[in-house]
Amino acid sequence: MFSFAPLKAPGPDGLRYNFDAALKLNSTSGGVGFVLSGPAGTPFLAVSHNLSLAVSQNLSFPSPIIGETLALRLALSEAVFHGFQFIMMESDNLEIINMIRGVAKEDYVYVRPIVQNILSLAEHGEEVSFHHVPRSANQVEHSLARRAVTV
């Protein structure tokens, strides 16, 4: 089950994933960063990962929306892989959260399959929620994403 409940602590068995993405200018590569924190808010995993946003040799979408959506999928995949059941996903990109909620102002057709994959992944948890946070709450994740772009 997943929800869009108001932001709160993840609970005694819950985990919080904050994630972000960054693009390399004039390129189809980018980076994602995410931090996993436990119930008390103590971080215990930080990931900085380089990725290619190229769809094929001739087609790429160097878009922040693609990067952010891939960052969400990567972080949620990590949580599901490890069997976590109570997961809070937090992003400073409101449009991504609205896409997951199905209320985005714009139809980003090129990320629809990724969003569907995220929704399928969310069904593996007992309680998975998606929240928007201010950019100031995502500075570490942004730095990790930027680091992945420069490596």
Q: Name the residue ranges covered by the structural domains of the chain.
A: 2-150
Q: Return the number of other C-beta atoms located less than 10 Å from residue 18's C-beta.
A: 27
Q: What whole-number distance in Å separates Cα of residue 92 and Cα of residue 135?
A: 5
Q: Which two tokens stand for residue 25?
A: 């200018």
| Domain 2-150 falls under CATH 1.10.10.60 | no
- For residues 12 and 51, the model is more confident at 51
**Strand 127-132 versus strand 2-3 pairing type:** parallel
> What's residue 73's pLDDT?
92
Q: Is the pLDDT of residue 7 over 50?
A: no
DSSP reduced 3-state for 143: helix
Asked if 10 contacts 49 with a C-beta cutoff of 8 angstroms, the reply is: no
* Nearest partner of 3 among 142, 130, 145, judged by Cα: 130
Kindly report whether the global pTM for this prediction surpasses the value 0.85. Answer: no
Q: Say how far apart CA 97 and CA 91 lie, in whole Å.
A: 7
pLDDT > 80? residue 87: yes
Phi, psi of 56 (to 5 degrees): -155, 180
Q: What is the pLDDT of residues 99-131, one digit of tens each?
A: 999 898 888 888 899 999 999 999 998 899 998
Residue 4 pLDDT? 42
Report the greatest alpha carbon distance in the chain. 48
Between residues 126 and 3, the one the model is more confident about = 126
What is the Cα–Cα distance from 18 to 119, expressed in whole angstroms?
A: 17
SS3 79: helix
